[in-house]
Amino acid sequence: MIYELAFPDPRYAADHGLVAIGGDFRPERLLAAYMSGIFPWPCEELPLAWFSPDPRLVLRPAELHVSRSLQKDLRRGRYRVTFDTAFDEVIRRCALARRDGRGTWITDELRAGMCGLHRMGFAHSVEAWSGSVLVGGLYGVSIGTTFSGESMFHAVPNASKVALVRLVERLRKWEFRMVDCQVHTPHLERLGAREWHRDDFLDELALAIAEPTRRGPWTEDPRVTHRSTPRDRPGP
């Protein structure tokens, strides 16, 4: 039922962004969270934690900054980039990417929920290949004209960055409003992401999710996707 999936208003959360604890990671709840500007961020102490931090890191597609070294890799075609061809493997590799001994926030339960959201057409992956070997990638959730980036991995230099650039180029063509990068990192800031006040982010999100959603799969041809209106989307 709708009330079972509802979240508290994130505008009233503390700056660190903890909105709620509990529930589960089934696809319908994840969808309700992202439509509310909330994302899952489980940890050992809080295995079912949901956040909406203030400030929020956001990248406007038109503001993407590509370094000279990255431009060289793009021009040389060092990596082949695909969309939605290996979602399960990308999220698995992202879950393995942390090697600091503290585990990963991408739990088995969250992976299962995200894979379900992918089957529903809302979660997407971008893959970077060297020949037939997957060497980098990222995944996230897209509703309306916003893309919420969740995690990246790379096995060779710049592979995940190439995947990100190709994704943002496509989102720019599709006139997406923003890429939600969630929390600040120097790497994303160098690519052009900026911190927004949470209220500004939530206001922009409301406009973005009211627009048609390009439900997956996102094929290599950016013209080929099913576009659904907000009424078509399975609501929480």
**Distance from the Cα of residue 228 to its chain's centroid:** 19
- Taking 70 as the threshold, does the pLDDT of residue 232 lie above it? no
Q: Which of 30-44, 100-114, 166-180 is the least confident region?
A: 100-114
- Taking 50 as the threshold, does the pLDDT of residue 38 lie above it? yes
CA angle 48, 38, 192 (to 5 degrees): 125
Q: How many other CB atoms sit within 10 Å of the CB of residue 58?
A: 23
- Taking 70 as the threshold, does the pLDDT of residue 189 lie above it? yes
- What pLDDT sits at residue 226? 55
Separation of alpha carbons 19 and 7, rounded Å? 8
CATH code for the part of the protein at 56-219: 3.40.630.70
- What pLDDT sits at residue 120? 97
- Alpha-carbon radius of gyration of the chain: 17
At 46-101, the pLDDT tens digits run 899 999 999 999 999 999 999 998 999 899 998 999 999 999 999 999 999 654 44
Specify the CATH architecture of the domain 2-51: 2-Layer Sandwich (3.30)
Predicted structure pTM score: 0.91
Question: What residue spans define the domains of the chain?
Answer: 2-51, 56-219
